């Protein structure tokens, strides 16, 4: 099992509290990302994801509001040294798609559900390939 530090996305996009949701959505689109961290005076205050923006758009609610009004607050953080299973439990409990990663209380990155799924799929594929190679080697030695 891997640690969060092995798959986090470093150098996350950060917006200050008070930034309009519309401006944050445009910044996320420009950078091709699905979430941004929200900070006040350099300290993490929350995270906003594309799902949050889409929900506002789908409900035809004004996007000219501060991100503070709809961001997920800091309980959606996980320490960089935690295990992926800890993140899986948090994703399931919070029904989130992005979680801010912190180290000593400071923001260091973001982890996405997709990152975990990719890691497990990749590991499963590697195990299948390795098992197949071992079987082939065993068969060749047997002949």
Alpha carbon distance 79, 59 (integer Å): 34
Question: Could you say which residues of the chain have pLDDT below 70?
Answer: 1, 74-75, 120-134, 137-139, 141-143
Domain that holds residue 91: 4-112
Q: Is residue 136 part of a domain?
A: no
Q: Give the per-residue pLDDT at 43.
A: 84
60 within some domain: yes
- The predicted pLDDT at position 125 comes to 58
> For residue 143, is it within any domain?
no
Write the CATH number for 47.
3.10.580.10
Number of structural domains the chain divides into: 1
Helix (H) / strand (E) containing 10: strand 9-10
Where residue 99 falls (left for φ over 0; alpha for ψ -120 to 50; beta otherwise) is beta
- Model confidence over 86-109: pLDDT tens digits? 888 888 888 888 888 888 878 888
> What DSSP string describes 90-136?
HHHHHT-SEEEEEETTEEEEEEEHHHHHHHHHHHHHHHHHHHHHHHH
The answer to the question of residue 117 being in a domain is no
125 within some domain: no
Q: For position 27, what pLDDT does the model report?
A: 94
Residue 120 lies in a domain: no
pLDDT at 107: 81
Residue 28 domain-assigned (yes or no): yes
Q: Are 9 and 35 in contact (CB under 8 A)?
A: no
Residue 82 pLDDT: 92
> Residue 55 falls within a domain, yes or no?
yes
């Amino acid at each position: 099992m891997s640690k969060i530090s092995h798959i986090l996305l470093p150098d996350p996009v950060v917006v200050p509290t008070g930034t309009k949701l519309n401006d944050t959505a445009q910044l996320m689109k420009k950078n091709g990302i699905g979430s941004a961290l929200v900070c006040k005076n350099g300290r993490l205050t929350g995270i906003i994801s594309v799902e949050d923006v889409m929900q506002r758009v789908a409900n035809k609610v004004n996007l000219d509001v501060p991100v503070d009004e709809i961001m997920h607050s800091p309980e959606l953080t996980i320490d960089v040294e935690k295990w992926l299973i800890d993140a899986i439990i948090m994703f399931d409990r919070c029904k989130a798609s992005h979680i801010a990663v912190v180290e000593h209380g400071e923001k260091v990155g973001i982890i996405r559900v997709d990152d975990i799924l990719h890691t497990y799929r990749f590991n499963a594929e590697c195990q299948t390939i390795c098992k197949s190679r071992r079987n082939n080697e065993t068969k060749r030695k047997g002949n």
